[in-house]
């Protein structure tokens, strides 16, 4: 089993749609969790941290389920500019950060 697994997609959705990505992780002792966004041929950029109680930033909502060892990202009212690859990142232990392979999203007009 991979340490961090994501559905690679691609997800093709129309503008305005709601889309959700899931990510599972293998190490139950993992300490912190993040979602990064990566545009084609660019570096990853931090989208949001994921807190135990769940958190929201505008159209983006992140959830953590420690019991089932997964995190999710929900994007509401998708914009064309949301098209990118979304990387799930898990901090296994003291800065041992593991990235998923990413989920590609394309938002179409």
Partner 1 sequence: DTGVSQDPRHKITKRGQNVTFRCDPISEHNRLYWYRQTLGQGPEFLTYFQNEAQLEKSRLLSDRFSAERPKGSFSTLEIQRTEQGDSAMYLCASSPVALNEQYFGPGTRLTVT
Q: Please report whether residue 77 would count as binding partner 1 according to CB under 8 A.
A: no
- Closest separation in Å from C-beta 40 to partner 1: 11
CA distances from 37 to 1, 3, 79, 101, 104 (A): 24, 19, 14, 12, 10
Distance of alpha carbon 101 from alpha carbon 4, whole angstroms: 8
Q: Please report whether residue 91 would count as binding partner 1 according to CB under 8 A.
A: yes
* Cβ-based nearer residue to partner 1, 17 or 101: 101
Q: Please report whether residue 73 would count as binding partner 1 according to CB under 8 A.
A: no
Q: How many CB atoms lie within 10 A of CB 24?
A: 19
Distance of alpha carbon 12 from alpha carbon 64, whole angstroms: 24
- Closest separation in Å from C-beta 31 to partner 1: 8
Task: List the one residue from 61, 100, 105, 107 that touches partner 1 (CB under 8 A).
Answer: 100
Q: State the residue for tokens 């966004």.
A: 37
Partnered with residue 25 across adjacent β-strands are: 4
Q: Give, as ranges, the residues between 27 and 46 that touch partner 1 (CB under 8 A).
A: 31-32, 34, 42-46
**Residues found near partner 1 in the complex (CB under 8 A):** 4, 8, 31-32, 34, 42-46, 49, 87, 91, 95-102
């Amino acid at each position: 089993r991979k340490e961090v697994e994501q559905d690679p997609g691609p997800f093709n959705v129309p503008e305005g749609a709601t889309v959700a990505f899931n990510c599972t992780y293998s190490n139950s002792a993992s300490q912190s969790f993040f979602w990064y966004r990566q545009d084609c041929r660019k570096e990853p950029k931090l989208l949001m941290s994921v807190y135990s109680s769940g958190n929201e930033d505008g159209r983006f909502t992140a959830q953590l389920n420690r019991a089932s060892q997964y995190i999710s990202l929900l994007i509401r009212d998708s914009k064309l500019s949301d098209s990118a690859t979304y990387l799930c990142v898990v901090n296994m232990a003291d800065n041992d950060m593991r990235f998923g392979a990413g989920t590609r999203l394309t938002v179409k007009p």
